[in-house]
């Protein structure tokens, strides 16, 4: 449920940024920022683009929707319904020059900031920081998204059969997401030897023999949930079991270390130490370990120099991997601890015990 109260609170954050940077207006064109301020609205036509066909223009006094005459009515009636946003349309056939002239009517003579290049001041980095911490309605939407995604992921993974191709699995994920009103933002599928070879496996015509890794990032109302599941069509051998349990302990350390006020570099380093303790000291170098998430797949990645500090509530998606396996869910960071947003209650679990504590992590599903 979109509330004017949520929109108003976000508008106040925007006003503070406008004042601090001395601009007359701030233009939000990225899908992530449009969705954030509009409390879940979308501004895209081409889903693969991170830039939309309409922008929210924020001035110290009000918010406008800058777009063509093609889009303005739908945006105001469906994507911005109930919000105090005024349409600022221009003819679609004059799109190369008209947006600037239209903007001059409300910010004439003032510098213009934006969430990307092309205007007077690029404030894209400042906009990422402005999205933290999450508001209570965003947390509610995140929990709903996580629950739906966990269920569909389990259903689709349980349909795996020998001879199925990675492309078919990707299509099944897309269909399951679409039927629930979600967007399959990222689908990575690897069967058998491709799991060992590639950390970002784009789906191919490879047919399933015995092992599968399924990665899904699903988006709804701008928010993105990230999770990975491992499936075997034959009993898991001792070596793979050892690797997966080690990966889960690393994942547990990264999530339990994710506390308000802690820098990402510190959390990352604890994960590296756990890799070493598990006997896999070089594996972290072969793939990024994840980081904070929300309206982008990752806002900030954990690495040795990441100075960004966690706030609460916010979301993290760590994804440690060891050759042949991976562990990943999206967790909510709160003052009381972390909460798994995509907990899979019908999936086999590992009680992953570490020096920082214990978390339930997803085991390899044997079909």
Task: Convert the pLDDT of each residue in 69-96 to its tens digit.
Answer: 999 999 999 999 999 999 999 999 887 7
Percentage of the chain surpassing pLDDT 70?
A: 99
Residue 74 to residue 180: CA distance in whole angstroms: 22
Mapping DSSP to helix (H, G, I), strand (E, B) and coil, where does residue 358 land? strand
Contact (Cβ atoms closer than 8 angstroms) between residue 287 and residue 280: no
User: Residue range 101-107: average pLDDT?
Assistant: 79
Q: Taking 80 as the threshold, does the pLDDT of residue 98 lie above it?
A: no
- Give the whole-angstrom CA distance, residue 138 versus residue 17: 21
CB 340 within 8 A of CB 356: no
136-366: CATH topology is: Creatine Amidinohydrolase (3.90.230)
In the chain, CATH 3.40.350.10 covers 4-130
- Is the pLDDT confidence value at 1 over 60? no
Of 39-53, 140-154, 238-252, 285-299, minimum mean pLDDT range: 39-53
Is the pLDDT reported for residue 281 higher than 90?
yes
Question: At residue 189, what are phi and psi to the nearest 5 degrees?
Answer: -130, 130
> CB of 166 within 8 A of CB of 206?
yes
Q: Is the confidence at residue 108, as pLDDT, over 80?
A: no
In the chain, how many H helices and how many E strands? 10, 19
Please report the pLDDT score of residue 330 as a whole number: 98
Is 333 strand, coil or helix? strand
Cite the residue boundaries of each domain of the chain with CATH code 3.90.230.10: 136-366
Domain spanning 4-130: CATH 3.90.105.10: no
């Amino acid at each position: 449920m979109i509330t004017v109260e949520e929109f108003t609170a976000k508008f106040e954050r925007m006003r503070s940024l406008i004042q601090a940077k001395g601009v007359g207006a701030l233009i939000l064109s990225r899908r992530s920022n449009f969705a954030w301020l509009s409390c879940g609205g979308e501004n895209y036509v081409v889903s693969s683009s991170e830039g939309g066909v309409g922008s929210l223009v924020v001035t110290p006094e009000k918010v406008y929707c800058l777009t063509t005459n093609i889009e303005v009515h739908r945006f105001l009636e469906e994507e911005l319904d109930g919000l105090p946003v005024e349409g600022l349309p221009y003819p679609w056939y004059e799109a190369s020059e008209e947006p600037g002239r239209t903007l001059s009517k409300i910010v004439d003579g003032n510098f213009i900031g934006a969430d990307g290049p092309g205007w007077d001041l690029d404030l894209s980095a400042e906009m990422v920081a402005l999205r933290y911490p999450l508001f209570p309605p965003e947390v509610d939407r995140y929990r709903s998204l996580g629950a739906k995604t966990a269920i569909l992921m389990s259903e689709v993974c349980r349909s795996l059969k020998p001879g199925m191709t990675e492309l078919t699995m990707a299509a099944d994920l897309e269909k399951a997401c679409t039927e629930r009103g979600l967007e399959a933002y990222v689908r990575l599928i690897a069967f058998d030897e491709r799991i060992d070879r590639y950390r970002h496996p784009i789906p191919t015509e490879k047919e399933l023999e015995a092992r599968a890794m399924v990665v899904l990032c699903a988006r709804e109302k701008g928010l993105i949930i990230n999770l990975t599941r491992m499936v075997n069509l034959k009993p898991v051998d001792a070596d793979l079991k050892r690797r997966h349990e080690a990966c889960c302990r690393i994942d547990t350390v990264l999530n339990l270390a994710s506390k308000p006020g802690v820098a990402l570099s510190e959390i990352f380093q604890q994960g590296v130490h756990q890799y070493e303790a598990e006997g896999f000291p070089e594996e972290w170098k072969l793939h990024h370990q994840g980081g904070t998430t929300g309206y982008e797949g990752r806002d900030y990645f954990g690495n040795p120099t990441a100075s960004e500090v966690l706030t609460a509530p916010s979301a993290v998606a760590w994804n440690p991997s060891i050759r042949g396996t991976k562990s990943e869910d999206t967790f909510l960071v709160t003052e009381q601890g972390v909460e798994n947003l995509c907990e899979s209650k019908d999936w086999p679990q590992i009680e992953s015990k570490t020096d920082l504590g214990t978390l339930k992590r997803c085991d390899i599903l044997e079909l």
